[in-house]
A and B are shown apart, each in its own frame.
Chain A
Amino acid sequence: MVKEKTFAFFLGCLMPNRYPAIEKSTNYVMEKLGYEMLDMERATCCPAPGVFRSFNKVDWMVAGARNLCIAEQLDADILTVCNGCFGTLQEINKHLKENEEHREMVNEKLKLLGDYEFQGTIDVRHVAEVLGYEIGPWGIEDHIIRKLNVKAAIHYGCHFLKPTRIREIESSEGPTIVEDFVEVLGIESVRFKEQLTCCGAGGGLKAYSGDASMTIFGEKMKNIDNVKPDIILDICPFCHLQYETGQDYLNKNKGCNYDYPVIHLSQLVAYCMGMDQEFVGLQYQLMGRDFIFGGEDVIKEEEEAV
């Protein structure tokens, strides 16, 4: 049995190394909700499903299993905040639990990396799914001290829900888990055309062909711009990066003039639970640096009055 109300916090690459504010926020939220967050010492890249699985599926599984072993040693389920990390670790974990042949093969190779053996004792979770289903909109209400009044374009990304038969979270054609959750934070989700398409960064495409990646992203931004949200809300630091650098790129190269703040679910929830805006870290980001989360004090008072 894994420890209850405890997570092995899997950082991945982009969050600690580019968007530490998301890390800060996630810790803040989970700890306020009464979870203990354990460090996964010596963890590495998940490794990213698009690139590393493309090169060598076996090695991808081995490196992923190594991370899983670290959490198994901590006796805690893994919490990820990134669709890529979630995709990799959830998939490998599930696959190795089911496939004995591959489990043996991977364990054989794991020995070369150190004292690791995949046991299959833990689960892998994503913060959006923990918040959306485990805490739930009903459970977060007691914890929030600010309600916003913000229109958000929600981007789910691909690997949080797909492949649905492996993730088993929700239909990928019309998910509502994040909308339902953030509604209580005062977020109005605005639907836009082709909302569920990819941001264009995955599968190693961003590294392989920036142009192609930006063409896909440009279309996406056009559709978002059509509905003029206040913020773009994501659940993955890689999508986050794409929305950040992508807007910048389009502004510089395609004559666009976008400045939509890009906010990860953890950042948003942390803010609503009382973390100062300074720690949300918009000042470090490329877009929406001047964005102020609407009238927090007023809402705070209202909340208190109630």
Chain B
Amino acid sequence: MSETKEEHREYKTDEDFDRAFFKDIERKTNIWQCIQCGTCTASCESGRWTALKTRSIIRKVCLGDLTVLKDPDIWLCTTCYNCYERCPRDVRPTDVIMELRNYATKLGNISPNHRAVVGYLQKFGHAVPINDEVRKRRVELGLEELPPTAFKFKQEGDDKDLKKFEEHLFDLPPVEDKEEKKEKKEEK
């Protein structure tokens, strides 16, 4: 799919789509059963206020429209599962969006903030690491200063758990300059 071409025309041809690409999603969910009823969008708490339109995302996956992987909208889902609960055809849109995010991540379409969260997990074993103030509070409340999680062991010099996390889990593709700039623009 060439991007320059797209800018000049409204219509699309078969070449603009890659239906085989989402075979995996087809296998795991029921996207082909979608009747485009819109229950998902109407259920969507995010979509009411943001650009996320669940139904049209499902449609794009059915068509094999790969632009959906670059669509920032897929990151607006709060995983509230309302659509999943209410879809009359059991399409499980939340799962579809999760799968799409997995694909997008593989392609490097991941926001810097999310990258940072992965970094925290690998470094501290927590998506939200502890800070000095909370350490103090813990003591005041009569709790141990550090909870007995992997991070405490790291502090005590036993780093093997988190090292392994870093080595084996959530290996993200390196940041591409172009992507990063784009992301940053969007942030602003």
Contact = CB atoms under 8 A, between A and B. Distances in A.
Establish whether A and B are touching in the complex (CB under 8 Å): yes
A272 to B, nearest CB: 18
B79 A50 contact: yes
A204 B75 contact: yes
B78 interface: yes
A109 B169 CA distance: 9
Given A20-B137, A202-B80, A44 B165 contact: yes
Interface stretch (A207-215, A245-253, A288-296, A297-305): A207-215
A215 B111 CA distance: 20
A203 B77 contact: yes
Contacts of A201: 78
A281 B85 CA distance: 36
Contacts of A54: 75, 98, 101-102, 105, 114
Contacts of A172: 81, 85
Contacts of A176: none
B128 A18 contact: yes
A56 interface: yes
A138 B172 CA distance: 50
A115 to B, nearest CB: 11
B77 A24 contact: no
Given A52-B121, A57-B102, A212 B126 contact: no
Interface string B97-112: 0110110010000110
Given A13-B126, A44-B161, A159-B81, A109 B149 contact: no
B49 A42 contact: no
Given A59-B169, A162-B84, A205 B129 contact: no
A35 interface: no
* Most B-side CB within 10 Å, residue of A18, A45, A51, A56: A45
B46 interface: yes
A41 B161 contact: no
A306 interface: no
B174 interface: no
Contact of A114 (B131, B134, B138, B164): B164
B129 A17 contact: yes
B137 A44 contact: no
A24 B160 CA distance: 29
A198 B137 CA distance: 29
Interface in B132-188: 134, 137-138, 141-143, 147-150, 153, 160-161, 164-165, 167-170, 172
Contacts of B170: 52, 55-56, 59
A159 to B, nearest CB: 7
Given A55-B105, A55-B118, A55-B170, A198 B149 contact: no
A208 B75 contact: yes
A148 B59 CA distance: 51
Given A55-B172, A158-B79, A17 B126 contact: yes
A50 B97 CA distance: 11
A39 B76 contact: no
B56 interface: no
Nearest to A218: B49
A198 B50 contact: no
A55 B110 contact: yes
A43 B105 CA distance: 26
B2 interface: no
Contacts of B79: 49-50, 158-159, 202-203
A173 B84 CA distance: 13
B117 interface: yes
A56 B116 CA distance: 15
A112 B171 CA distance: 14
Contacts of B75: 54, 204-205, 208-209
Q: Which of A53, A198, A284 has the most CB of B within 10 A?
A: A198
B71 to A, nearest CB: 13
Looking at A20, A114, A173, the one whose CB has the most chain B CB atoms below 10 A away is: A20
Contacts of A279: 141-142
B128 A14 contact: yes
B102 A56 contact: yes
Interface of B: 45-46, 48-50, 75-82, 84-85, 94, 98-99, 101-102, 105, 110-111, 113-114, 116-118, 121, 125-131, 134, 137-138, 141-143, 147-150, 153, 160-161, 164-165, 167-170, 172
